[in-house]
């Protein structure tokens, strides 16, 4: 059911009459191409299939809004709040997403430009399309998850980063730590060994030797998968390591170092 105009006047951030007219048009017709909706209150709005090409939605609150299949091409969504929004199958090509909050949103089947989410907040988002994040985004989000103790989620992000850049030794190392923290020592050992190979190819023999030794220790003395981590015992503390692993993915370094 559409909100009455009086309610909209109370809920919306104070806006000009023209903007209020755009807001009313959107909610009634689900079509407002190029309209001015900056800072508008659209929490829980039902906007499935809405036509919002080139709409100005900077700072708008679209938390929990339903935008399934909406056309948001070239829309300005900078600093917009889309927390928990349903953006499945939405077309976001050309949209400006810098600083937008897409946490816990559903992006299944959404169309996004390559690297479109690099400057947005998308932790916990579902169905993030392949290519929407850069290698560094994926690796560093994995580090963030690991520092919060969410190692299964961290492992998924590191796996995605490895898929994007298989020669990135640092991501193999990070995934190995996450797997080890979950008590999966043999899988962790395989990751550490691969990281060692890549570091050795880059001329970092000392680190490669350390990783080879750690991998062998894990194979020789595997623990039962009880979720107890081994980072502190073998690699000097998982949390400290993760804090060091994050910045490297942002630097332009040779394949043997990254």
Report the CATH number at residue 140: 1.25.40
In this structure, the number of other CB atoms found within 10 A of the CB of residue 2 comes to 11
Same domain, 87 and 171: no
Report d(CA 44, CA 51) in Å as an integer: 17
pLDDT in tens, the chain (258 residues): 444 443 443 344 445 566 788 888 888 888 889 999 999 999 999 999 999 999 999 999 999 999 999 999 999 999 999 999 999 999 999 999 999 999 999 999 999 998 888 788 887 888 988 778 888 888 888 888 888 889 999 999 899 889 889 999 999 999 999 999 898 999 999 999 999 999 999 999 998 998 999 899 888 887 644 444 444 444 555 555 666 665 544 443 333 334
Where is the domain boundary, 108, 133, 158? 133
Inside any domain, residue 168: yes
Same domain, 243 and 144: yes
Same domain, 122 and 174: no
Where is the domain boundary, 71, 99, 133? 133
Inside any domain, residue 25: no
pLDDT at 243: 64
Inside any domain, residue 51: yes
pLDDT at 133: 81
pLDDT at 238: 54
Report d(CA 233, CA 241) in Å as an integer: 12
Same domain, 229 and 157: yes
Overall domain count for the chain: 2
Which residues touch 256 (CB under 8 Å, ≥6 apart)? 169, 198, 199, 200, 201, 202, 203, 204
Boundaries of domain holding 220: 135-248
Same domain, 60 and 155: no
Inside any domain, residue 171: yes
Same domain, 147 and 241: yes
Expressed in angstroms, the distance from the first to the final Cα of the chain is: 53
Inside any domain, residue 208: yes
Same domain, 43 and 114: yes
- pTM (2 d.p.): 0.61
Same domain, 143 and 242: yes
Same domain, 181 and 241: yes
């Amino acid at each position: 059911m559409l909100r009455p105009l009086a309610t909209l006047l109370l809920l919306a951030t104070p806006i000009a009459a023209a903007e209020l007219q755009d807001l009313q048009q959107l909610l009634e017709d689900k079509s407002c191409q190029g309209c001015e909706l900056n800072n508008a209150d659209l929490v829980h709005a039902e906007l499935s299939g809405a036509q919002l090409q080139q709409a100005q939605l900077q700072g708008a609150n679209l938390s929990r809004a339903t935008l399934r299949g909406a056309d948001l091409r070239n829309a300005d969504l900078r600093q917009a709040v889309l927390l928990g929004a349903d953006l499945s199958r939405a077309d976001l090509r050309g949209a400006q997403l810098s600083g937008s909050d897409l946490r816990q949103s559903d992006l299944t089947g959404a169309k996004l430009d390559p690297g479109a989410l690099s400057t947005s907040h998308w932790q916990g988002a579902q169905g993030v399309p392949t290519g929407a994040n850069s290698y560094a985004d994926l690796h560093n989000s994995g580090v963030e998850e690991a520092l919060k103790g969410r190692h299964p989620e961290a492992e998924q992000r590191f796996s995605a980063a490895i898929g994007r850049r298989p020669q990135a030794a640092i991501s193999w190392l990070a995934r190995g730590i996450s797997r080890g923290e979950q008590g999966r020592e043999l899988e962790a050992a395989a990751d550490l060994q691969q990281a060692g190979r890549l570091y050795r190819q880059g001329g970092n023999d000392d680190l490669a030797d350390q990783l080879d030794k750690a991998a062998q220790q894990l194979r020789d003395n595997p623990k039962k998968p009880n979720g107890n981590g081994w980072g502190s015992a073998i690699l000097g503390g998982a949390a400290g390591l993760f804090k060091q692993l994050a910045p490297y993915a942002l630097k332009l370094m040779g394949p043997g170092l990254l």
